[in-house]
Structure 1
Amino acid sequence: MDRLLARYPFLSAAREAVGEEGGDMVALVADGGPPVERAVERVETCLREGTVGDPHRDPRTELLSYPVARALVSLVDEPVLVRRYADAEARTAHRRFTADLDDDRELQSARGQRISLRRLLAEFDLSGKVEDAPEGYRITVGRYLSLSGEDWRLVARPLADGWVPVSREELMALLREAVRERVAEGLPQAVPEEIADGLADEVAGVESLLADRSPPREFDAVAPELFPPCVTSLLARVSEGEDLEHHSRFALVSFLVSMGLDAEEVEAIFERGGTGAETAAYQAERLGDDGRAAYAPPSCEAMEALGDCVNPDDRCETIDHPLSYYEAALDDAGTVPDWRETGGSILDRLSGD
């Protein structure tokens, strides 16, 4: 079989290959062999590491594991898992096709089992909508807007005759988003009862792993420079005197309370900006102690839905909660000075003053 389809199972041609190689999916799942085992690995690794893991040595197993993984994600039926899985497949694909493609700026054909930029563009209806440019590429404004996020503001880019210039790295990022959209499309999907019955144990295992990954509540240190981008942005808005909307204020206050700040410390932060200090202190007091366990900060999914998820970085792709981001950042940083021991304001610590 075509190893390229196993490497990139989201390709349209891979769907036909699955039918040819997989035969009866009910029997495949009932057998519980390598494709099912690899499917479980895909899904569980997306939760643990933000990727889908290393490919199986057998291309057929690798190819067939993809539709089984999609069935698993659908049966668990949790929005956070759909998002994490689509992100992980896109992250893995991005790493692979970036490695496959030559570093020059020509639209080249594939050699051997590597994918070509030409094929990727055709796969996502970008043929004729991406062209070589003197310093990278250019893409039609319509497709640029459909694939770019909030951080890629069109106002900050030159626009000529309906084309937007992008670097090679930016084009790879746009293709990564195209993969993410393709993977997420249709999830959760309807799964036949026979397949659902055959995957019952695997679904229970994924559900257990998902439950175990609830956000942490205790931390060894308060290090503002390690806060997630969404929280840093909210603090900057407070510092600039913006009166946050209720959902944004709750997200910030609940995060700070989870860090162990009390009502007075939260109030002092908002007083620096000159707005909302009394309300923030009241929220912090209610969220403290017993309320701290009941009211965790909003998840990444909720932050995104409310417009408070901004400037996501690489770590954001591997977590699903701001507190999990902070926990991972602390682990990576090792020993860090606690904000309370160094004195000063959290806002000063963030600004480097």
Structure 2
Amino acid sequence: MDIVLDRKELIKYPFLKESQQLARRHVESLEEFLESSPGAVALERAKERVVAALTFKKEFGDENTQSLKPELEIASYALARMLVSCINDRSLIDRLARYEAERASFFLAAEDPEIRRFVALRLQIDPDAVTMPVTGYVELVPHLRDKRWRLVNRDVQRGGVSLEAGEIDELIRERIRAILVDQLPLRVPPGICERFLPVTKEIVALRQQQILEEFGEIKKEAFPPCISALIQAITAGTNLTHMGRFAITSFLHTVGMNVAQIADVFAQAPDFDPDMTMYQVEHISGRGGTEYTPPSCATMRTFGLCTGRDKDCERVSHPLSYYRLRKNIKKKRD
């Protein structure tokens, strides 16, 4: 039997082809839509989606009772993707993808079995499966952090990976997240990004406030050994690799240093070039349109930048996690 989702069901899964077709029937011209009252409503809802993604809001149940028309709710999903694409911050893109995946997963968990199967099959996953082909499994789980997802920890028989109860739901959610991340950032026309500026500035300000609250006052004594080693290398006159410069700049920017403060770190080098340094620091810090996040511990090891490991390094998988950990330890001691 063919399944046809009604308008109220389509808003739960805005990434489906049917949902997007519904929105397109009501939005022929993006510019005209944004100038209209419905467009303003949809843009405000789009901002709410991005803010919810930033603040990890997971209160999805109330969305069923809202008065927004289905086509505008779906349009807000498209506009939210445009907003994060204009900002072009990879961490923000990742958060929106996770938020939308969590949202869809929330609704799927309580969905009619036939509709749940319909949506899952559109994602190329059998919701009733108890095994998954190794090739599909390996492709799907790289970003799932729990060690139980590693292939060496799974029961593999005849080319299939056995799944425990409830794991298929987690894999469906991960599939949605991966699809959305791969689609972003979108190529949004510069004129549309300019139109979005009042909204994107609000979002960027919120993100910066979050960083301030998350990391607080900069404590150099809490820097991970790899970052401290890079700073020492600069002072000693060592010519850092591109990845070394990228790692230290993106880390210092993320924990709250401004461009001038980061440039001061590089100014300790004997061959300091002010113009070149400012250009590189501004580019990595987001002045060029993309705000980069620091590389993970695994990436640092790959590029030979993981040095001076200590016991706290064993507890984390990212330099930022080390920094948070050491700051919290110092705070408790104080």
- TM-score, scaled relative to structure 2: 0.62
Residues 168-247 of structure 1 aligned to structure 2 (within 5 Å): 168-214=165-211, 215-218=214-217
1:39 pairs with 2:15: no
Cα–Cα, structure 1 residues 194 and 338, in superposed 2: closer, same or farther, change >3 Å? closer
Cα–Cα, structure 1 residues 66 and 324, in superposed 2: closer, same or farther, change >3 Å? farther
1:15 pairs with 2:20: yes
Asked if 1 retains the 8 angstrom alpha-carbon contact of 2:125 and 2:172, the reply is no
Q: Pairwise CA RMSD of aligned residues?
A: 4.2
Percent identity over the alignment? 23
Looking at structure 2, the residues matched to 203 and 292 of structure 1 have their Cα atoms a distance apart, in angstroms, of: 20
State the match for 1:146 in structure 2: 139
State the match for 1:157 in structure 2: 154
State the match for 2:249 in structure 1: none
Q: Which amino acid aligns with 1:201?
A: P
Q: Which amino acid aligns with 1:25?
A: L
Cα–Cα, structure 1 residues 124 and 252, in superposed 2: closer, same or farther, change >3 Å? farther
Looking at structure 2, the residues matched to 208 and 34 of structure 1 have their Cα atoms a distance apart, in angstroms, of: 21
Mean Cα deviation higher: 32-41 or 187-196: 187-196
Looking at structure 1, the residues matched to 314 and 22 of structure 2 have their Cα atoms a distance apart, in angstroms, of: 39
State the match for 2:56 in structure 1: 49
Cα displacement (A) at 1:30: 2.3
State the match for 2:225 in structure 1: 249
Asked if 2 retains the 8 angstrom alpha-carbon contact of 1:6 and 1:63, the reply is yes
**Secondary structure of 1:176's match?**
helix
> Structure 2: which 5+ runs fail to align?
1-5, 231-254, 263-291, 302-312
State the match for 1:126 in structure 2: 125
**Secondary structure of 1:97's match?**
helix
CA deviation string 1:71-130 (max 9, x = no partner): 1011111111111111111122222212326xxxxxx413xxxxx1x2133211235xx6
Cα displacement (A) at 1:323: 7.9
Cα–Cα, structure 1 residues 38 and 158, in superposed 2: closer, same or farther, change >3 Å? same
**Secondary structure of 1:33's match?**
helix
**Secondary structure of 2:156's match?**
coil
**Secondary structure of 1:213's match?**
helix
Asked if 2 retains the 8 angstrom alpha-carbon contact of 1:131 and 1:138, the reply is no
**Secondary structure of 1:191's match?**
coil
Cα displacement (A) at 1:52: 8.3
Looking at structure 1, the residues matched to 120 and 100 of structure 2 have their Cα atoms a distance apart, in angstroms, of: 18
> Structure 1: which 5+ runs fail to align?
102-107, 111-115, 220-230, 232-246, 255-290, 331-335, 342-353
**Secondary structure of 1:65's match?**
helix
**Secondary structure of 2:157's match?**
coil
CA deviation string 1:164-223 (max 9, x = no partner): 11123211111111110121122111112442233121111112112222242359xxxx
Q: Which amino acid aligns with 1:142?
A: T
1:29 pairs with 2:29: no
Q: Which amino acid aligns with 1:122?
A: L
Asked if 2 retains the 8 angstrom alpha-carbon contact of 1:46 and 1:85, the reply is yes
Asked if 1 retains the 8 angstrom alpha-carbon contact of 2:42 and 2:76, the reply is yes
Which of 6, 9, 15 is the aligned partner of 2:11?
6
Equivalent pairs counted in the alignment come to: 251
Looking at structure 1, the residues matched to 209 and 321 of structure 2 have their Cα atoms a distance apart, in angstroms, of: 16
Cα displacement (A) at 1:305: 6.4
Cα–Cα, structure 1 residues 90 and 139, in superposed 2: closer, same or farther, change >3 Å? same
Looking at structure 2, the residues matched to 182 and 312 of structure 1 have their Cα atoms a distance apart, in angstroms, of: 27
Asked if 2 retains the 8 angstrom alpha-carbon contact of 1:86 and 1:184, the reply is yes
